[in-house]
Structure 1
Amino acid sequence: MNNAPAAITYSGLKPYGQTGTGRTLLVTAQHRQLLDGFKKISEIPSSEGYYAQSITKAVESLRGCTAPVNSFMKNGTPNRRCIVFSGFEIEYETGSYYGGPQTDVIIVDIRITKKQSQTESKPALWNIEYNVDSEEWEKSSKPEPILRATEKLPGTKVKPIKVGINGYANNLDHAASMLPSHISRGEEPAINSLKNSGYNLFYVPQSGSSLKAGWSFLRDLGRTNRIELEAARILAAHMKEAHEQELYVEWTSHRGGSKVLTTAMKLLAQRSIKLQKKQQIFLSDHTSSHFEADIARRAIDMDTSFSKWYNSTPGISQFIGGKALGSAELCCSINELLNHTPNEKRIEKLIDTVAQGKETYIKTIQNGTLAVTLATKFGITIAFASTLAKTLGSTILASIPSLNENYHKSSLDPVKQLTKKIVYRK
């Protein structure tokens, strides 16, 4: 008696789009039935319809590209990949299964991860609305599978879609309450406008070690964990999604969200995707280099016309991670001068850059003795050490987790917050 399992058979999947050009997609009978069901649901205008539509579109996209921005390659297998979305994953292999010149795609598995997104254990896009009665920001009942325009946020140049990307936060509700301050840059009229329109939150789940609002970042500096990398790939897919719909979007990251945003932009740059200046970023209280972010945003042709595209308190995380020991501003200026400044404006830009460097040099002289000691102890340059010496005292307050949740317009804001905590016991 033969107890060997029956071999899995695959057959070509009929295109769900209008054309059948591109690679052949092969699926099992079970997955064909599943996808046919999603196709029917996708034709119904509802949240489930948008979810089903995102799955069928993702499958069809494999006819044109076998390595989209949100794909992983399985270790040790050159042809096994997986594309990730906030509510599902598609695992597939590539090869010439029909013997033709074009690479075929065989769908190995379609995994529904909706429950993981809803339990906040997987990166996902959420709609956030302001409840006037409770005076609190509230999340939607389910995550959004697709970044799309709404009546209140049509994604036009005048009314772009607002998306926040959290870093260190206790949970989704905590992140949802923090981001409005940063999306509105701390301006009361902008916050009121946001209360009327709502916003989207790209929620990045945090590991237990990340909950101290940046204190653990030194240990992880330069490394991207699994959740952050998965989040960056899903975020990159949403950015590409917005580009294909020709939407205007403002992406605002807070704290460690800057690393996820920067990685997403790098993934788009690797595919030579250009956003035609319809999207822009703002890094608030960032803990990763805004010089790297500047290189990445220019590489994908983001809108760089706003001179104020980042803000940070002088905290330890921002000083060492976000500002690269105080040198990031100068690096950004030099990069803009050499690569992004027209010839007729280079003289003026050169003067500004030299003036900025001169100011840093004067500060270095003022802290000479301590700077030499720091440079010797930590193996860093005198310029970096002197900037570090002068800044350490003022960074401690700004690095206290409970004092850097809101957007800061000046370095005195953390001091004011601490004073209020002492006086009013809160």
Structure 2
Amino acid sequence: MNSLPSSAASLGLKTFGQSGSGRSIVANDQLHQMLEGFQELSRVPSSEGYHALALTNAVNGLRGGAVPVNSYLKNGSATRRCIVGGGFEIEYELINYYGGPQTDVVILDIRLVEQQAAEKRRAALWGVDWDAGDDGGEWSPKVQPDMCLRTNGTVTGKEDSRLKIGVNGYCENLAHAAKMMPSHITRGDEGALEKLKGNGYTLFYVPQHGALKSGWRCVRNLGRSSTREDMEAARILAGYMKEAHDKGLYVEWTSHRGGSKVLTKAMEQLALRQINLDGKQTIFLSDATSSHYLADDARRKIGMNTNDSTWYKATPGIAQLAGGSVIGTAKPVMSVNTFIKYTSKEDRTNKLIDTGYHTLKFIKGAKKVAMGGFSICGMATAATAMGISFSTAKLLLGVMTVKGVQIAAETSLASIPSLNEGYHSSPTDPFKQLVQRTRLRNR
């Protein structure tokens, strides 16, 4: 677009960037100068340069016909949208000046919110390194968040060197999330954990809001729609997933607790735009408190790698059972959905056998769940209210010899937030942690 109509010129708008390829982008003088400045800064290899690159890439992405995955409609308008990123927001409107099929993009406002991300009040990417130190070492987030996906000399983003990115759920703060995530990313494998310490990892930190103790919020939120903060985080995450796709990067996304809801919503954003990831990205849900079925359906719609049969793992906590496995119904429903929508004619016989197996297993297990279900909530409340003395721990061990109550006891312990922070390879792990803790307390 070489010139603007008089109505647009009166608004002080002019073209930004080259015209003739996709939509034209217009902005007023102040925003135009700001964007020019960010373009220059994006060429500088620095943290500020990465931030500027993320913003200018978002602006240039508006030239395409597809609506960006990290955008949403503003104020119920059919034409005004807002793109959200880790450190910025871009509000724009689609306007048809000439009455033809082509709509142009008018940038209305650019808001820099990197300070909110730096203050851990907004979802963003954080690099996390292992600090050996003198006291055994700890996982330490970097001082500032990243605005773009980064690779380094040891992690290249290729198939044999995938980026490992965690998505936290319920936690106390950034440091707490950074400490919990590695055991879930490595699925409890000590060798993989040592390798991760050498390479570091990336955390997509989702700040947690509200005064309710970490972990119990998921119980309160069961059945509720996503919060505004969750949706904002999901759109930002979807933007990073699309960035990885555009760069051809291989990524392993691992969610913990309520991070599964944000990860699922992000995948659904990609599905709305019919984006196919060509099998280069995978997900792993650890202690998911949102539906495995919804996550499975979303990952298949966007062409994620689904070769891993162990793509989720959970302790038998209340939120994991009710929210993640939907009281055991998620697995048979996933199997049926995969059989109907995603199975070729050649593979349907084997898939039908799997579907029947999971359905029968669910029916058999439903009776056991019912046996312990009535006492689950009461025992979970009691476990958190009492100080859990060593004698109480021994008493619980005796009670767990009764099969029906064993289910309730395992569920109760696995529902205590402080006992399901790390990756559990066995349902008895929460109890082992409890016994170890009470022994230390009674020394």
Superposed pair shares fold, TM > 0.5? yes
Pairing partner for 2:362 from 360, 363, 367: 360
Secondary structure of 2:91's aligned partner: strand
1:290 has 2:285 as partner: no
Pairing partner for 2:152 from 141, 150, 153: 150
- The CA deviation at 1:39 is 1.1
Pairing partner for 2:244 from 242, 245, 262: 242
1:176 matched residue in structure 2: 178
1:418 has 2:434 as partner: yes
Q: How does 1:68-217 map to 2 (within 5 A)?
A: 68-97=68-97, 100-133=100-133, 135-209=137-211, 211-217=213-219
Asked whether the 8 Å contact 1:275–1:300 carries over to 2, the reply is yes
Letter in 2 for 1:288: S
Distance in 2 between residues matched to 1:44 and 1:422, nearest whole Å? 54
Letter in 2 for 1:280: T
- The CA deviation at 1:10 is 3.0
1:4 matched residue in structure 2: none
Q: Which runs of 5+ in 1 are unaligned?
A: 1-6, 375-387
Residues 356 and 331 from structure 1, CA distance in 2 versus in 1: closer, same or farther, beyond 3 angstroms? same
Letter in 2 for 1:113: V
- The CA deviation at 1:66 is 6.3
Residues 370 and 125 from structure 1, CA distance in 2 versus in 1: closer, same or farther, beyond 3 angstroms? closer
1:395 matched residue in structure 2: 411
Asked whether the 8 Å contact 2:123–2:206 carries over to 1, the reply is yes
Distance in 1 between residues matched to 2:371 and 2:122, nearest whole Å? 49
Distance in 1 between residues matched to 2:421 and 2:371, nearest whole Å? 35
1:404 has 2:420 as partner: yes
Letter in 1 for 2:360: K
Q: Which moved more, 1:343-352 or 1:317-326?
A: 343-352
TM-score w.r.t. the length of structure 1 is: 0.89
The two structures, once aligned, show a CA RMSD in angstroms of 2.4
CA deviations 1:3-53 (Å, max 9, x no partner) are xxxx9733232316xx74111211111111111111111111222111111
Residues 156 and 210 from structure 1, CA distance in 2 versus in 1: closer, same or farther, beyond 3 angstroms? farther
Asked whether the 8 Å contact 1:10–1:26 carries over to 2, the reply is no
Secondary structure of 1:301's aligned partner: coil
Distance in 1 between residues matched to 2:67 and 2:212, nearest whole Å? 31
2:39 matched residue in structure 1: 39
2:349 matched residue in structure 1: 347
Asked whether the 8 Å contact 1:367–1:390 carries over to 2, the reply is no
Letter in 1 for 2:414: A
Letter in 1 for 2:431: V
Pairing partner for 1:278 from 263, 277, 280: 280
Q: Percent identity among equivalent residues?
A: 47
CA deviations 1:294-336 (Å, max 9, x no partner) are 0000000000001100000000000000011111111122222
1:315 matched residue in structure 2: 317
Letter in 2 for 1:230: E
Asked whether the 8 Å contact 1:8–1:28 carries over to 2, the reply is no
Residues 66 and 347 from structure 1, CA distance in 2 versus in 1: closer, same or farther, beyond 3 angstroms? closer
TM-score w.r.t. the length of structure 2 is: 0.86
2:232 matched residue in structure 1: 230
Distance in 2 between residues matched to 1:299 and 1:340, nearest whole Å? 9
Asked whether the 8 Å contact 1:210–1:216 carries over to 2, the reply is no
How many residues get paired? 405
Q: Which moved more, 1:56-65 or 1:362-371?
A: 362-371
Letter in 1 for 2:434: L
Distance in 2 between residues matched to 1:390 and 1:203, nearest whole Å? 35
